[in-house]
Structure 1
Amino acid sequence: MFSKLSVVVASVLITLAAAIPNTTPPVTTPTSDQCCNSVVPSSSAAASAVAALLGLDLTGLNVPVGLSCSPITVGGNNCGSTSVVCDAPDKEWGGLIAINCIPITA
């Protein structure tokens, strides 16, 4: 039962990814403090997989990419993961990915 469900879900995700036109995200000066679960090269398999689901093409970009990010609040750095400043289009990509992430040094 569950194996059939996983095949259906995978098929739907692949179909959606194929239907979304790939766009290259702009790379601008990072301005948004983010707490990301991980920061990986834009050429990594993890970044490529998330980007593909969102219809993004990271080919040719050579920047650090934050995965599973959320904004750091004004109340303080409550980040238990990696604190970075990024191009963080959380409205566009729902916090799944952030582009051009640079570590925050205190």
Structure 2
Amino acid sequence: MVFSRALILAALPLLAVATAIQGRADALITSCCSTVGSSSDPAIASQLGLLGIVLDGVLVGLDCTPITIVVGTGTTTCSGTTVTCTDNSDGGLVQIGCVPITL
């Protein structure tokens, strides 16, 4: 009984760290987007309008896929613009709050 309590108490800090790491990983999404620009750009705004999304001057990525990094080379398979975004609620079609990055 004492051993099982000790095991549970030892596991709690690990669970807390794993939860904290998972929370931070979800905060930013690194993707490869075919189009990146301001939501106030007429061409982007019209595409957002078709999806029923209304934004005001936020940098967005359109037609995005998750980044693939080739291990050992430090290169990616992105042929568009690499971005880190705060919201991927539309399943990759639109990513919101993006910042272009260089890998």
Aligned residues: CA RMSD? 2.0
What are structure 2's unaligned runs of at least 5 residues? 1-26
Relative to the length of structure 1, the TM-score reads: 0.58
SS at match of 2:97: strand
Amino acid at match of 2:68: T
Identity %: 41
Counterpart pick for 2:51 among 49, 54, 57: 54
In the alignment, structure 1 residue 66 sits paired with structure 2 residue 65: no
State the distance in 2 between where 1:52 and 1:86 align: 20
Alignment of 1:1-106 (within 5 A): 31-58=28-55, 61-73=56-68, 75=70, 77-89=76-88, 92-106=89-103
Relative to the length of structure 2, the TM-score reads: 0.60
Number of paired residues? 73
Q: Indicate if the aligned counterparts of 1:66 and 1:99 stay in contact, CA closer than 8 A.
A: yes
SS at match of 1:56: coil
Q: Indicate if the aligned counterparts of 1:35 and 1:84 stay in contact, CA closer than 8 A.
A: yes
Q: CA deviation at 1:75?
A: 4.6
Q: Indicate if the aligned counterparts of 1:50 and 1:96 stay in contact, CA closer than 8 A.
A: no
Amino acid at match of 2:61: G
State the distance in 2 between where 1:57 and 1:38 align: 17
Higher RCO (CA < 8 A, seq sep 6+): 1
